Amino acid sequence: MNGNRFGRLFQVTTYGESHGDAMGVTVSGCPAGLELDEDDVQAELDRRKPGQSMITTSRGEPDAVSINSGVQDGYTTGTPIGMVIENKDARSGKYEPYVTAPRPSHGDFTYSAKFGTRNWGGGGRSSARETVNWVAAGAVAKKILETRDVRVKAHVNQIGDVEAPEVGFEQMLEHTEENPVRCADPETAEEMRELIDEYQEAGDSIGGSIYFEIRGVPRGLGAPRFDSVPSRLGQAMMSIPATTAFEFGLGREAREWTGKNRNEDWEFSSDGDPIPEGNKHGGLQGGITTGQPIYGEITWHAPTSIPKKQQTVDWETGEEKEIQVVGRHDPVLPPRAVPVVEAMLNLTILDFMLLGGRINPDRLDDDPGEYDTDYHPSSPDNE
Amino acid sequence: MNGNRFGRLFQVTTYGESHGDAMGVTVSGCPAGLELDEDDVQAELDRRKPGQSMITTSRGEPDAVSINSGVQDGYTTGTPIGMVIENKDARSGKYEPYVTAPRPSHGDFTYSAKFGTRNWGGGGRSSARETVNWVAAGAVAKKILETRDVRVKAHVNQIGDVEAPEVGFEQMLEHTEENPVRCADPETAEEMRELIDEYQEAGDSIGGSIYFEIRGVPRGLGAPRFDSVPSRLGQAMMSIPATTAFEFGLGREAREWTGKNRNEDWEFSSDGDPIPEGNKHGGLQGGITTGQPIYGEITWHAPTSIPKKQQTVDWETGEEKEIQVVGRHDPVLPPRAVPVVEAMLNLTILDFMLLGGRINPDRLDDDPGEYDTDYHPSSPDNE
Amino acid sequence: MNGNRFGRLFQVTTYGESHGDAMGVTVSGCPAGLELDEDDVQAELDRRKPGQSMITTSRGEPDAVSINSGVQDGYTTGTPIGMVIENKDARSGKYEPYVTAPRPSHGDFTYSAKFGTRNWGGGGRSSARETVNWVAAGAVAKKILETRDVRVKAHVNQIGDVEAPEVGFEQMLEHTEENPVRCADPETAEEMRELIDEYQEAGDSIGGSIYFEIRGVPRGLGAPRFDSVPSRLGQAMMSIPATTAFEFGLGREAREWTGKNRNEDWEFSSDGDPIPEGNKHGGLQGGITTGQPIYGEITWHAPTSIPKKQQTVDWETGEEKEIQVVGRHDPVLPPRAVPVVEAMLNLTILDFMLLGGRINPDRLDDDPGEYDTDYHPSSPDNE
Amino acid sequence: MNGNRFGRLFQVTTYGESHGDAMGVTVSGCPAGLELDEDDVQAELDRRKPGQSMITTSRGEPDAVSINSGVQDGYTTGTPIGMVIENKDARSGKYEPYVTAPRPSHGDFTYSAKFGTRNWGGGGRSSARETVNWVAAGAVAKKILETRDVRVKAHVNQIGDVEAPEVGFEQMLEHTEENPVRCADPETAEEMRELIDEYQEAGDSIGGSIYFEIRGVPRGLGAPRFDSVPSRLGQAMMSIPATTAFEFGLGREAREWTGKNRNEDWEFSSDGDPIPEGNKHGGLQGGITTGQPIYGEITWHAPTSIPKKQQTVDWETGEEKEIQVVGRHDPVLPPRAVPVVEAMLNLTILDFMLLGGRINPDRLDDDPGEYDTDYHPSSPDNE
């Protein structure tokens, strides 16, 4: 409603501005009995962290997470998990010139139009810094999904006009994190890197895209019509800052396919279950999972923070003026967005599994009649 | 949650199956004082109605709407508007062969996987017949938006490989409804029509896309992060049956644009307000409206109901079998989806205007201190 | 949000005014596989129906329900159940004098203050006629709860100063429906009846209360803090028109009890489970069910429609005037509210059972891996 | 849904356990432009703080709040306000004996029944310590309501059988905070204090109640039927730990009043508006505010933590055993619950004012067309 919440049963609530004291996220609805500690979350945050390479902003944030609640003796308790990540390297002074003169193509003007005020430090709430919260929450979701063998992976499949060849899921798992571009094809990664460097040196930035795949999702998930899997993925992916397109299955190209070519006959799997003969449908039919991998693509426009001098206007003084965005910024977004995409996919899929009864919303153990169990004994004897 | 609700303050709840007794939609949150009668709704339903031309299904539904509540003496009362559209021409018998043998690429199997049952008549709840409810609700939203000069229009911009040239908003308003393809460029419409006929004669079907534009939206609408305008449009558009891609602004092509080329300087409008020099941003920055037109594209895959013989399996008998989908079906989806897209856009934008305080959620008149007014006097004297 | 929806997973949406065309309710989230037909719903509606005896309004409504969707071949499909109940005996003319002169202690003025309009026919949306929707939805919930041996019963335990003695659950089941007052103690019922007659003859009305009990609720239901069982029951019961108090367990009297007297030791049940030695806690500890019966009381003020001449003011003319409420009205509310209370209790408890994973939200059968089953074969062969 | 959220537009999300690291609350939906700092929140927290007198627990919590986001240069920005209150004086060791043996009449068993685990430290999430979050959020709501002259006040009107006489609103404002019992009648406060001392010395505890009143609420607030003001107050009040009854207006006594005696004629106010001649209706008719003060009562049972030896059973060992609850606990709940009740009332009423359009959800300033204003200039020049 106010935009700071995601998820129906696995509920994520966030706060924080780029240059405020801290970012924070509350995860309500995590089943009890999950083994979880700060390292699990930190590992994902480290993947998103700024300053990892030359192609990311040099802002020096350790992004250290504190879990304030919801975990006892190393296991979740079923009550909300409150997490805080302090902002250590905010340098708001750099943004002073733009207080009443919006930066070109940023959210400066629109946030002021909405709130009638100006949260000027580093973009305030509109900053992509917010996604640190999503990655923290997604880390919890990921751990639960791992217990059900659901796996999510994304990689950068295009930067500018450099496009990666099709890669397999195992290849994505193996190679994506090996290079700063996060492209699972090492040769393309190298080309992408060169292209990015070129734009960065020219004081410019460039767009790109991410391909994702989700494996192991059980059939029968999704709540058509308005909460179908495509609907919720659409919402989730278009929530990511600077995205301009979401596609699944054949995506945009589907417009040129005929029914005969796209339709897939049903056959029996080795288990005797009906399965489609292919997966041009992208794992989703009628908005519900078929059990086949869900895959798709998301597009990012080029970062709007570029060192080039640009024109703006000052709404206080009524003057036109030249602006030069300083600060520390990424020349391209998808490489750092890979863990963000994965986080949002994990959150979305887990929510469907809780809704669909695949996971007991109260606890990982499926028997709702038990009032205690052995495998997560939150007792002093365990310490 | 269960997928049958859309909207936060302008709340739409729907029910109905393709071959059930009736479709129904409840609109809760319509402000009081709107002039509304069944003709307003019927006009939109007639645009979506089957059997309008050779390229749509010949199912003979009058789609006559009854308003059961929420309107008194020709004005809305602020209480929920219940609408019912009876199903008159359901012929379930035709679907008997597929009861336990799913049709290729339909939602038959996935719905059964979700619910553990088989709603076999005409696709049941998975049918696009559901969108009659959305168009009815959207008609109410449209009437409210008209009072605020917000205008929504969509047209078919591509069928197969036949692509329309760029068209202006006024051209869309003028020409879209003139041809059965609903393409605002008459020449392209003709070409599209020929292509569709070709596929239909070949017992095949074809994909396509719709371009939309929203004009007059005030700046400052949207609730980032998870309820930003792109997020909610993403959810709304991907809820439409058979869609596989949602794009706004530069969409998928943004991946190849540089920051220098995409960024837009700020200048002063004639009113002295900051406005961007162009609209490559698609009316949205930081997920919030700039006041510029919002535009984008949605892709549909080809209809899955084709007369070709296809292979399927029967999960009761364990046998493979041949299937031939009879029934009455569209050879292409976008032409009839135009009013559906417009309805969902109207619903989404209105919801933001109610949330953002642009429209008083209780009444169209903005003064919350009044307990009665003259301009919608629901009294017997007025009859 | 707009007040026309109840429930989180078992979602009820309603519409309708006292003198509109029809009342309607959509039940979204009913699991598939429940045997259900219109008779199941009608049986409950008949219990609430006006004109059952001298102590209820003589409005002649058959309250015949039509199920428009969500049921196929006698079983629910898991998709939304749309129900419509037509208004047959609305006589708005009687209300004309009060169009701009509010009736004393009704919702006439406040509805106008909210909506800036005047839905003058029989109280419009503020009428208790709305509860026909709740009873219809509750009938569906009741059928599901019966499959889990959860039983809800209410009876009138006080009218004016006539108070019933404590009665057992079986006595409530056996005797409540035997008399028009719906008091499970036949002698008290007689006294209540006399008291009501007395007030009715005097052109007056009187308040009263209902005692309820819920048996068979599993332990561990409830979502503290804001969705605890007491919170949700509080919301549900205070939604019922004309209620002024909700109590559970010791209720209002708890203020005079000491901890020593109220606390209950734990002992082992015959099954070896911990159970409290008594049930002064009313089945709820820390907002969650203990497995003991949940019980409580709700109070209604006297009906505000009385034939006495009263004073009001006309906000159009600015004149004071005398008013005499004609129309057909109940001299006391609890007798007809018994099925309403039961309905809301059924809806509330079922929602918790769906949330807590006791019932699979998609289907009654608990195995989420199956895509079809035998016991609710929605196929043409079954007809 | 999971119970950790309250409010529709003014959204409160909480986390924290009695003996965890910190309590936390996120307030999403606070309009921009409100002057706010930590002192505003701290002032309310100090009223609720433990250890204020002999009749409250001696747990030594400073309850110091940190605002992590949502405030810039002393004004709210419209983005979520994240607040954290560290737990400094948790002593879980004291609770070791009860890990698998539930304390009588606490939430120990029911929480374990729900989550299948045992959050044993000090009651974990079931502890009333959670209400520190509510008071923090309520402090923000209170500041907004003050800008609209809406005032909320509560006082303890009964402890055991000691009942306060009726007091006026100004008396409540003046005297409530003068004594540790928080009764606005000084003499009764003294009597209550003696009674409490007596029970405390006897190793016992006692129940009590709170009377509240809300002044200045505009007419026309409330969203019948399920989100009427009584419904939402019912939910809010029954969410407070250990409450067993909620009443408004004549409350439970309404059952003995006749319609003639309770009905209130309409007359004209000095402003020429219709007003009821009295306020037996408690400020609410048809679930919507009349503009008259809203008042009611809430009952608490006696604290369940008493030093008396009690019987329990150990579900691990299967043994019956004696238990003696140590720890630091209140002998009576209402005195410390006064700020909690006020907080929940402020949150509830503010939410209705945002929903009803009385306050722009985006900003305190009502003009939605402005993109900046002078009175809350979040700019460096202002520092």
C11 touches chain B (CB under 8 A): yes
Q: Is pLDDT above 90 for D56?
A: no
Within chain C, strands assigned E span 5-6, 11-15, 22-28, 65-67, 71-72, 75-76, 81-86, 151-159, 162-163, 208-215, 243-248, 266-268, 274-276, 284-285, 288-289, 294-300, 309-313, 320-324
Give the SS3 label for residue B134: helix
Q: Which chains touch C (3 or more CB pairs under 8 A)?
A: A, B, D
Q: How far is CA D63 from CA B255, C171, C200, D124, D130, in A?
A: 50, 52, 58, 17, 12
Average model confidence (pLDDT) across chain C? 90
Using CB atoms, pick whichever of A355, A368, A369 lies closest to residue C361. A355
Whether the upstream peptide bond of residue D225 has omega within 30° of 0, thus cis, is yes
Task: Supply the pLDDT for residue C373.
Answer: 47
Task: Supply the pLDDT for residue C308.
Answer: 87
Whether residues B371 and D220 touch (CB distance < 8 A) is answered with yes
Average model confidence (pLDDT) across chain A? 90
Task: Supply the pLDDT for residue C383.
Answer: 31
Residue B373 binned pLDDT confidence (cut-offs 50, 70, 90): very low
Task: Supply the pLDDT for residue A271.
Answer: 87
Whether residues A207 and B266 touch (CB distance < 8 A) is answered with no
Q: What average pLDDT does range B75-91 have in this prediction?
A: 89
Asked which of A88-92, C323-327, D338-342 is least confident by mean pLDDT, the reply is: A88-92
Q: Which of B88-102, D65-79, D120-134 has the highest mean pLDDT?
A: D65-79
Task: Supply the pLDDT for residue C97.
Answer: 63
Task: Supply the pLDDT for residue D58.
Answer: 60
Q: Is pLDDT above 60 for A373?
A: no
Task: Supply the pLDDT for residue A189.
Answer: 98
Q: How far is CA D118 from CA A372, C19, C218, D107, in A?
A: 7, 54, 18, 11
Query: From the CA of B205, how many Å to the nearest CA of chain D?
Result: 44
DSSP string, C335-347: HHHHHHHHHHHHH
Return the closest-CA partner of residue C209 out of C186, C242, C170, C178: C242
Residue B116 binned pLDDT confidence (cut-offs 50, 70, 90): confident
Determine the residue of chain B that is closest to C99 in CA distance: B379
Task: Supply the pLDDT for residue A334.
Answer: 97
* B151 annotated as belonging to a binding site for a ligand: no
- Cβ-contact B216, B294 below 8 angstroms: no
Q: Which chains touch A (3 or more CB pairs under 8 A)?
A: B, C, D
* CB neighbour list of residue A184: distance below 8 Å, 6 or more residues apart: A155, A164, A167, A171, A172, A174, A175, A176
Query: From the CA of C362, how many Å to the nearest CA of chain A?
Result: 6
> For residue D316, which residues of chain A lie inside 8 Å, CB to CB?
372
Provide the number of CB pairs (under 8 Å) joining chain A to chain B.
Answer: 400
Residue A375 binned pLDDT confidence (cut-offs 50, 70, 90): very low
* CB neighbour list of residue B63: distance below 8 Å, 6 or more residues apart: B42, B45, B46, B48, B49, B85, B132
The stretches of B125-185 forming alpha helices (DSSP H) are 131-146, 169-175
* D28 annotated as belonging to a binding site for a ligand: no
Using CB atoms, pick whichever of C219, C274, C360 lies closest to residue A357. C360
Q: What is the pLDDT of residues C130-184, one digit of tens each?
A: 999 999 999 999 999 999 999 999 999 999 999 999 999 999 999 999 999 999 9
Q: Is pLDDT above 80 for C59?
A: no
Whether residues A302 and B264 touch (CB distance < 8 A) is answered with no
Query: From the CA of A133, how many Å to the nearest CA of chain D?
Result: 13
C272 touches chain A (CB under 8 A): no
Task: Supply the pLDDT for residue B286.
Answer: 96
D278 touches chain C (CB under 8 A): no
Q: What is the pLDDT of residues C245-304, one digit of tens each?
A: 999 999 999 999 999 999 999 999 998 899 999 999 999 999 999 999 999 999 999 999
Stated as kind and residue range, the H or E segment containing B231 is helix B229-239
Using CB atoms, pick whichever of D92, D100, D362 lies closest to residue A115. D362
Q: Residue for token digits 């240059």?
A: A19
Length of chain D: 383
Distance CA B241, CA C352 (A): 32
Q: What average pLDDT does range D203-228 have in this prediction?
A: 96
Q: Is pLDDT above 50 for C380?
A: no
* CB neighbour list of residue C197: distance below 8 Å, 6 or more residues apart: C54, C55
Residue A378 binned pLDDT confidence (cut-offs 50, 70, 90): very low
Return the closest-CA partner of residue C125 out of D358, A307, D288, A173: D288
C286 touches chain A (CB under 8 A): no
- The DSSP code for C35 is B
Using CB atoms, pick whichever of A79, A113, A379 lies closest to residue D17. A79
User: Domains of chain A, with CATH numbers?
Assistant: 5-382 (3.60.150.10)
Query: From the CA of C380, how many Å to the nearest CA of chain D?
Result: 39
Using CB atoms, pick whichever of A248, A265, A284 lies closest to residue B104. A265
What is the value of ipTM here, to two decimals? Answer: 0.95
Whether residues B220 and A272 touch (CB distance < 8 A) is answered with no
Amino acid at B171: Q
What pTM value is reported for the model? 0.96
Using CB atoms, pick whichever of D3, D15, D112 lies closest to residue A70. D15
Residue B383 binned pLDDT confidence (cut-offs 50, 70, 90): very low
Q: Is pLDDT above 70 for C377?
A: no
Query: From the CA of D355, how many Å to the nearest CA of chain C?
Result: 8
Distance CA A44, CA A218 (A): 25
The token duo for B283 is 């009316």
Q: Is pLDDT above 70 for B379?
A: no
Q: Is pLDDT above 50 for A135?
A: yes
The token duo for A121 is 């430090």
Distance CA B223, CA B214 (A): 18
- Per-residue HEC secondary structure of A54-81 comes to CCCCCCCCCCCEEECCCEECCEECCCCE
- Cβ-contact A236, A297 below 8 angstroms: no
Whether residues C362 and A356 touch (CB distance < 8 A) is answered with yes
Asked which of C64-73, C113-122, C198-207, C260-269 is least confident by mean pLDDT, the reply is: C113-122
- What residues 330-359 of chain D have any CB closer than 8 A to a CB of chain B? 355-358
- The DSSP code for B357 is T
Distance CA D243, CA C228 (A): 12
The stretches of D217-296 forming alpha helices (DSSP H) are 229-239, 259-262
D143 touches chain A (CB under 8 A): no
Sheet holding B208-215, edge to edge: A162-163, A151-159, A208-215, A294-300, A243-248, B243-248, B294-300, B208-215, B151-159, B162-163
Widest distance between CA atoms in chain A:
73
Residue B88 binned pLDDT confidence (cut-offs 50, 70, 90): confident
Q: Which chains touch B (3 or more CB pairs under 8 A)?
A: A, C, D
Q: Which chains touch D (3 or more CB pairs under 8 A)?
A: A, B, C
Q: Is pLDDT above 50 for A377?
A: no
B204 touches chain A (CB under 8 A): yes
C100 touches chain D (CB under 8 A): no
Whether residues D361 and B356 touch (CB distance < 8 A) is answered with yes
* CB neighbour list of residue D271: distance below 8 Å, 6 or more residues apart: none
B53 vs D378, more confident: B53
Residue C80 burial by Cβ neighbours in a 10 Å radius (0-12, 13-18, 19+): buried
Task: Supply the pLDDT for residue D90.
Answer: 63
Query: From the CA of D71, how many Å to the nearest CA of chain C?
Result: 26
Q: What average pLDDT does range B208-221 have in this prediction?
A: 97
Distance CA B34, CA B31 (A): 7
> For residue C377, which residues of chain B lie inside 8 Å, CB to CB?
118
Task: Supply the pLDDT for residue C116.
Answer: 86
- Cβ-contact B296, B279 below 8 angstroms: no
> For residue C356, which residues of chain A lie inside 8 Å, CB to CB?
361-362, 368
Asked which of A260-269, D108-117, D259-268 is least confident by mean pLDDT, the reply is: D108-117
DSSP string, A114-126: HHSS---GGGGGG
Amino acid at A57: T
Count of CA atoms in the C-beta half-sphere (13 A) of B350 = 33
Output the CA torsion sign for B109, B114, B119, B121.
Answer: negative
* A47 annotated as belonging to a binding site for a ligand: no
Distance CA A132, CA A136 (A): 6
Query: From the CA of B23, how many Å to the nearest CA of chain C?
Result: 7
Give the SS3 label for residue D95: helix
* A262 annotated as belonging to a binding site for a ligand: no
Whether residues B22 and C379 touch (CB distance < 8 A) is answered with no
Q: How far is CA A97 from CA A17, A103, A270, D305, D379, in A?
A: 19, 10, 65, 59, 10
Asked which of A226-240, C313-327, C342-356, D11-25 is least confident by mean pLDDT, the reply is: C313-327
Distance CA A125, CA A108 (A): 10
* B305 annotated as belonging to a binding site for a ligand: yes
Distance CA C186, CA C177 (A): 10
Amino acid at C12: V
Distance CA A115, CA A3 (A): 14
Q: Is pLDDT above 80 for B96?
A: no
Task: Supply the pLDDT for residue C90.
Answer: 64
Within C22-178, strands assigned E span 22-28, 65-67, 71-72, 75-76, 81-86, 151-159, 162-163
* C125 annotated as belonging to a binding site for a ligand: yes
- Cβ-contact D153, D217 below 8 angstroms: no
Q: Is pLDDT above 70 for A159?
A: yes
* D79 annotated as belonging to a binding site for a ligand: no
C10 touches chain D (CB under 8 A): no
> For residue D112, which residues of chain A lie inside 8 Å, CB to CB?
371-372
Distance CA B13, CA C29 (A): 12
Q: What average pLDDT does range A282-307 have in this prediction?
A: 97
- The DSSP code for C30 is P
- What residues 212-271 of chain C have any CB closer than 8 A to a CB of chain D? 219-228, 230-239, 241, 243-252, 254-260, 262-268
Q: Is pLDDT above 60 for C46?
A: yes
Distance CA C366, CA C271 (A): 24
State what percent of residues in chain B have pLDDT above 70.
90
- Cβ-contact B260, A99 below 8 angstroms: no
- Cβ-contact A313, B267 below 8 angstroms: yes
Distance CA B298, CA B211 (A): 7
Q: Is B188 left (phi over 0), alpha (psi -120 to 50) or beta?
A: alpha
> For residue D371, which residues of chain B lie inside 8 Å, CB to CB?
219-220, 273-274
